[in-house]
Amino acid sequence: MAVKPGSLNDVVKKLASTTVSVLKNEQDKAAYVKIEQLRDELLHDCGSKVLAGTKAFRLQQGEYGGSNVFFNRDGQDYRYSLIDGVNGSMYLAYTPKTAMKEVFKNKKGLRESDLNDHFMGVVDIEKDVKVLQITALSSKSDVTTHDVTTPTRAVTHLLAQKVHSAGFDGMEFTSNVTGEPCLVLWHNDPAGAGIATTGAQTPLSKFTYRGQEAAVILVYELGIPVEE
């Protein structure tokens, strides 16, 4: 679909009207309509800034040349990702505990080799970024927490599209697995030039946080066994 300058909101509306007709769950249909009707003014009332210099955490499998920054354009399976094929999405946690739980949440246990293969990155935010606070959106509108955490990706992708088209760089949301705040940022460069860089990268087998080894955090705080 060709997009003319200034017509992004029209595209979002057209996609919304097309998709809502094929949703099967009535709650999802209602959520979709509520999100479709959100006005930019309300979204901006729910915004805040993540300041340049903020440090966040991202866990990944593999070193990738020492970089933990990656804006993934293949966002179909991810809750708040853009799916326009141009802008990628990167998910960050404010603590390594949440970063580990998000990656390993479906694992019944890990081996030491898994700790060698996974790398914790400290990601430095390079400029002030404007994000939508999802908790504020729930407070100031009729969009509920259930609406924005539904497993139906068509609903949450619409929210991402609406927020991005309103001029935001991303959103802050609550992790379903730890209850801590997380970030999703959007950028058209997969390497994140000008928005984020990797300040440090450490294999989990050597990673410590506040005096605790990663294996200790996994076992005693996250309930994920680690076998030798």
Q: Is residue 75 part of a domain?
A: yes
Nearest to 138 by CA among 171, 89, 105, 185: 171
Number of domains in the chain: 1
Buried b (16+ CB within 10 A) or exposed e, 64-74: eeebbbbbebe
Q: Is residue 12 part of a domain?
A: yes
| pLDDT digit string, tens, across residues 20-71 | 656 768 989 999 999 999 999 999 999 999 999 999 999 999 999 999 999 9
Mean pLDDT over 136-165 rounds to 96
In the structure encoding, which two tokens stand for residue 128, read together? 């002030």
Q: Is residue 100 part of a domain?
A: yes
Q: Is residue 3 part of a domain?
A: no
Does the pLDDT of residue 152 top 80, yes or no?
A: yes
Tally helices (H) and strands (E) across the chain.
9, 12
| pLDDT digit string, tens, across residues 86-129 | 999 999 999 999 999 999 999 999 999 999 999 999 999 999 99
User: In whole angstroms, what is the distance from residue 160 CA to residue 150 CA?
Assistant: 13
Which residue is listed with tokens 């996250």? 222
Name the band, by pLDDT with cuts 50, 70 and 90, for residue 8. Answer: low
Q: Is residue 2 part of a domain?
A: no
For residue 49, give the CATH number of its domain: 3.90.175
What pLDDT is stored for residue 37 in this prediction? 96
In the structure encoding, which two tokens stand for residue 98, read together? 């949440």
Which residue is listed with tokens 């139906």? 152
Does the pLDDT of residue 212 top 60, yes or no?
A: yes
Does the pLDDT of residue 2 top 80, yes or no?
A: no
Does the pLDDT of residue 140 top 50, yes or no?
A: yes
| pLDDT digit string, tens, across residues 160-210 | 999 999 999 999 999 999 999 999 999 999 999 999 999 999 999 999 999
User: In whole angstroms, what is the distance from residue 210 CA to residue 21 CA?
Assistant: 50
Does the pLDDT of residue 6 top 70, yes or no?
A: no
Q: Is residue 138 part of a domain?
A: yes
Q: Is the dihedral of CA 15, 17, 21, 25 positive or negative?
A: positive
Under DSSP, is residue 47 helix (H, G, I), strand (E, B) or coil?
strand
Q: Is residue 98 part of a domain?
A: yes
Q: Is residue 1 part of a domain?
A: no
Domain that holds residue 127: 8-227
The β-bridge relationship of strands 181-187 and 88-93 is: antiparallel
User: In whole angstroms, what is the distance from residue 182 CA to residue 196 CA?
Assistant: 15
pTM: predicted TM-score of the whole model, two decimal places: 0.89
User: In whole angstroms, what is the distance from residue 26 CA to residue 23 CA?
Assistant: 8
The β-bridge relationship of strands 129-133 and 170-174 is: parallel
Name the band, by pLDDT with cuts 50, 70 and 90, for residue 1. Answer: very low
What pLDDT is stored for residue 228 in this prediction? 78
List 21's β-bridge partners, or say none.
none
